[in-house]
Each structure stands twice: as structure tokens, then as C-alpha cells.
């Protein structure tokens, strides 16, 4: 079945087909439509789940943590200031090894007040232990939610599916919706071996000494590494059933490229159009679209970039006092390139903060800048001076 859906509704349909059992809901623009549609599905009996209205985003994550700890498949959605309010409990969910799945609709942080897109809200949570995947269109949004439940439940870590405010959340696109029976074949019920159970009591999250705490953190890192393999395998399995395969990243004209652009989210769609046009003009330009930011695909990036002459990271985010956040990660990955290989010249571009439009001509300007200037770590694109 094909439906014309905005990104928010694609999330809700995917959560329904994933047979979520607990939905924690607190409204915040631009994600409110996600939980609104899920509330209608629960009220009509279309979705057999507990829909819980709570008083804050902090409480929404607390509900998901409690539900997941009992063995229920838990889901919520948020944006921006709401995600920031969850910060304490994001650590708790990951450290407790609970596979909560959340949709975050990227929105710029205030002040000044904004409801438009920017990636800084989710990237500010990069060290909480959550898987983070950035979607570029509404079909991918739908597919990612379903896959993320399976990945998270395999590695016992929570995951965040991320889509751009308005550019995806409120934009309508054609989305293929599979039958429930097919999704059930792909995603079995969640039934953890260890959970809160009155008939088999356990203690969870108690005080531990430094030596064992250290081991717990090592296990989370090992689970993140295992997630890389699961993401690829589950992405292929999804492709076999539904015809759309996914991995840690997407390559576009990278095989022979001298210039490679790196970005994430819906901005990659604009960059693809620009790259395609430049290819027609004879420029050897390619694109890497990062899907997963956590776990970060360092080895895959090194393989792609090792023979490039120029690499430019386009960040729709910024770590103030440093540079673009994805640029920092790419630079770290390239530091470990095999010795004896030349590093590509690496440039960091900031673009599209607060929902500022990033156009094809801006991507062309970025490529021209790289060809005519020495590398810089922070270059503002389209800055109004």
C-alpha cells in the first residue's frame, strides 16, 4: 500500500506496525502530530497499546524506561527543548540497557525562539549512549523506525530516529506501507530474558563499586561496536523483505571522486542534486550521507576518503568554541588513516542553522571554495554580515 504521508505520520505508522505497547506523549512543535496520530490509533482500537499523557518530556522518558524495564516495547517522540529536558534520563535508559526507541524532530534550540530545523539538539546528546540515525526522506523515516526497534533490541541499547523539522516532518511524500504480517516476520515480539517481574524478583540500577562500574561501561561500548554489524545485517534483511536496503552510510558517486562532500539528514538530498549537476559538468564530485552518527562509521569513512583530494563536511549544527560536530568526528576518523597515505584536504562548513535554506548554488559555492582555498575548520556558508 502506498500513502502520501508527512514525515510525522510516517513515524506513527511505523510505530504502529512495530506493535509498540507503550506510548508516552507530551506535545512539542514540530513532533506533536506523531503522538496525536498514535493517540487516535489507540483510541480507535487500531493499535493495542497503553497511551500515557504525562506532564513533561522528562516524565515521558521515565515512562518509557519503566515500560521497557518490564519487557514492553516503548516509544516516544520529542524535539529541541524537550529532548534537552530528557537529558538526565537518556543516560539512564542507555546505562540500564533498555531498547527504547524515540523519534526526534530536529529543531533549533532557543533563544531566539525557533521552530525550524537544526541538528544541534540531537547531537548534543551524542555521549548518552543512544544510537542516532539521521533520515533524508519520509520513506527512510518509516523504514528506520521499524529497523531501529530490531537493532536496539538485539544490542540492548536505546535508539533515536531523527528527521528534520518541516523539511520532512510536515512535507508530504509517497511512502510504501507494508502489511502487518510482513512486518511481524521481520520484527518479532520483544521478550527480554531479564526484566522486572514480580514472580522472579531482581534488583536493577543499584549502587556498585568503581571496579564493576568500569566493566558496565565497557559492555556499552562493546554493544555499540556490535550495533555496527547488526545495522548492516538487519538493513540487508529489511531489503530482502521490503526492497529497500540500508547501512551505516550512503555513497553517491564516490568511486572515482576527487572531491567528496559529507553531510546528514535532508540536506543530503539537495547535495545529491548539486553533485549530479556537477558530474554532468565534468567535475569529479561525490557525496557521503551519514545515516548513523552513533555508532560512528569511522572505518567506512576512511575507506571512502583515503583516495580523495578534498573532503568537505557540511554541518547543520555547531559546537560553540570549536566547530561543526560532524566535522570533528570526521577529522578524528581520518586521523587514523593508514600511514603512508595522503590525507585529503579537509574543510568544515556550517550551513542551514535555524532552518536557513541551503540551496544548490550554496553547494556549488562550497565545492568552488574547496578548489580555490586552503583548508579551514569552520567556514560559514551564506552568512549575512
* Confidence band, pLDDT 50/70/90 cuts, at residue 248: very high
Checking if the pLDDT of 340 tops 60, the result is no
Q: Same domain for 56 and 200?
A: yes
Q: How far apart are CA 27 and CA 33, in angstroms?
A: 8
Residues 234 and 321 reside in one and the same domain = no
Q: What is the CATH number of the domain that holds 289?
A: 3.40.50.920
Write down the pLDDT at residue 206: 87
Residue 162 lies in a domain: yes
Does residue 299 register a pLDDT over 80? yes
What is residue 343's predicted lDDT score, i.e. its pLDDT?
79
Same domain as 264, residue 211: no
Region 281-295: what's the mean pLDDT? 97
Q: Examine the domain organization and report whether 232 and 254 are in the same domain.
A: no
369 pLDDT higher than 70: yes
Beta bridge partners of 349: 314, 379
- Provide the pLDDT for residue 221: 98
Determine contact, residues 263/285, Cβ cutoff 8 Å: no
Q: Provide the percentage of residues in the chain whose pLDDT is more than 70.
A: 98
Last residue of one domain, picked from the residues 242, 276, 295: 242
Is the distance from CB of 355 to CB of 116 less than 8 angstroms?
yes
Helices (H), the chain: 7-17, 32-44, 57-69, 80-85, 87-95, 120-123, 138-155, 180-186, 210-242, 267-280, 298-305, 325-335, 360-372
Dist. CA 195–CA 291, nearest whole Å = 31
Average pLDDT over residues 113-118: 96
Q: Is residue 385 part of a domain?
A: no
Q: Can you tell me the distance from the alpha carbon of 229 to that of 29, in angstroms, rounded to the nearest whole number?
A: 35
Pick from 216, 242, 268: which residue ends a domain?
Answer: 242
Residue 287: pLDDT band with limits 50, 70, 90: very high
What is the rounded distance in angstroms from the CA atom of residue 137 to the CA atom of residue 164?
9
Residues 6+ apart with CB under 8 A from 361: none
At residue 337, the pLDDT reads 59
Q: Decide if 95 is inside a domain.
A: yes
User: Could you read off the pLDDT of 27-48 as tens digits, one per residue?
Assistant: 999 999 999 999 999 999 999 9
Q: Does 231 share its domain with 265?
A: no
Q: Which domain holds residue 297?
A: 250-380
* Digit-coded pLDDT (tens) for 190-229: 999 899 999 988 888 889 999 899 999 999 999 999 999 9
Among candidate residues 321, 333, 337, 318, the one with its CA nearest the CA of residue 381: 318
In this structure, what CATH number is given to the domain that contains residue 156?
3.40.50.970
pLDDT reported for residue 205: 86
Task: Tell me what the mean pLDDT of segment 258-285 comes to.
Answer: 97
pLDDT band at 307 (very low <50, low <70, confident <90, very high): confident
Q: Is 195 in the same domain as 336?
A: no
User: Do β-strands 310-315 and 259-264 pair in parallel, antiparallel, or remain unpaired?
Assistant: parallel
Between CA 369 and CA 174, with CA 360 as vertex, the angle to 5 degrees is 145
Say yes or no: 160 and 280 in one domain: no
- What pLDDT score does 26 carry? 97
Phi, psi of 338 (to 5 degrees): -50, 135
Is residue 173 domain-shared with residue 201, that is, in the same domain?
A: yes
Quick one: 235 and 254 in the same domain? no
| Residue 352 · residue 164 · CB < 8 Å | no
**336 confidence band (pLDDT: 50, 70, 90):** low
| CA separation for the pair 346, 289 (Å, rounded) | 16
Specify if 214 maps to a domain.
yes
The pLDDT score that the predictor gives to residue 223 is 98
Residue 341: predicted pLDDT: 63
Provide the domain count of the chain.
2
pTM, entire model: 0.96
Amino acid at each position: 500500500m502506498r500513502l502520501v504521508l508527512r514525515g510525522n505520520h510516517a513515524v506513527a505508522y511505523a510505530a504502529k506496525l512495530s506493535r509498540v505497547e507503550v506510548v508516552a506523549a507530551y506535545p512539542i512543535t514540530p513532533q506533536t502530530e506523531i503522538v496525536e496520530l498514535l493517540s487516535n490509533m489507540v483510541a480507535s482500537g487500531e493499535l493495542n497499546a497503553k497511551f500515557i499523557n504525562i506532564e513533561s518530556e522528562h516524565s515521558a522518558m521515565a515512562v518509557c524506561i519503566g515500560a521497557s524495564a518490564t519487557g514492553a516495547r516503548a516509544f516516544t517522540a520529542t524535539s529541541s527543548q524537550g529532548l534537552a529536558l530528557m537529558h538526565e534520563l537518556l543516560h539512564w535508559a542507555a546505562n540500564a540497557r533498555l531498547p527504547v526507541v524515540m523519534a526526534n524532530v530536529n529543531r533549533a534550540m532557543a533563544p531566539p525562539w525557533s521552530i525550524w530545523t537544526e541538528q544541534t539538539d540531537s547531537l548534543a546528546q551524542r555521549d548518552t549512549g543512544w544510537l542516532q540515525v539521521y533520515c533524508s526522506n519520509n520513506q527512510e523515516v518509516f523504514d528506520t523506525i521499524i529497523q531501529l526497534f530490531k537493532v536496539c533490541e538485539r544490542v540492548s541499547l536505546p535508539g533515536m530516529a531523527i528527521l528534520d523539522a518541516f523539511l520532512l516532518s510536515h512535507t508530504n511524500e509517497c511512502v510504501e506501507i507494508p502489511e502487518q504480517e510482513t512486518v511481524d516476520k521481520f520484527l518479532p515480539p520483544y521478550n527480554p530474558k531479564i526484566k522486572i517481574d514480580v514472580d522472579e524478583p531482581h534488583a536493577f540500577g543499584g549502587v556498585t563499586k568503581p571496579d564493576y562500574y568500569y566493566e558496565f561501561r565497557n559492555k556499552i561500548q562493546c554493544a555499540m561496536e556490535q550495533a555496527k554489524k547488526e545495522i548492516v545485517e538487519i538493513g540487508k534483511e529489511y531489503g530482502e523483505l521490503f526492497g529497500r536496503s540500508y547501512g551505516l552510510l550512503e555513497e553517491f558517486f564516490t568511486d572515482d571522486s576527487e572531491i567528496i562532500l559529507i553531510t546528514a539528514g535532508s540536506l543530503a538530498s539537495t547535495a545529491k542534486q548539486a553533485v549530479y549537476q556537477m558530474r554532468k559538468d565534468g567535475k569529479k564530485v561525490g557525496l557521503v550521507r551519514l545515516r548513523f552518527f552513533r555508532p560512528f562509521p569511522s572505518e567506512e569513512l576512511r575507506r571512502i576518503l583515503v583516495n580523495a583530494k578534498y573532503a568537505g563536511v557540511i554541518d547543520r549544527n555547531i559546537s560553540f568554541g570549536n566547530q561543526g560536530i560532524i566535522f570533528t568526528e570526521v577529522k578524528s576518523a581520518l586521523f587514523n588513516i593508514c600511514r603512508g597515505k595522503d590525507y585529503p584536504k579537509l574543510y568544515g562548513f556550517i550551513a542551514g542553522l535555524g532552518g536557513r535554506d541551503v540551496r544548490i548554488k550554496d553547494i556549488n559555492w562550497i565545492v568552488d571554495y574547496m578548489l580555490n582555498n586552503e583548508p579551514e575548520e569552520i567556514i560559514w556558508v551564506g552568512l549575512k554580515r
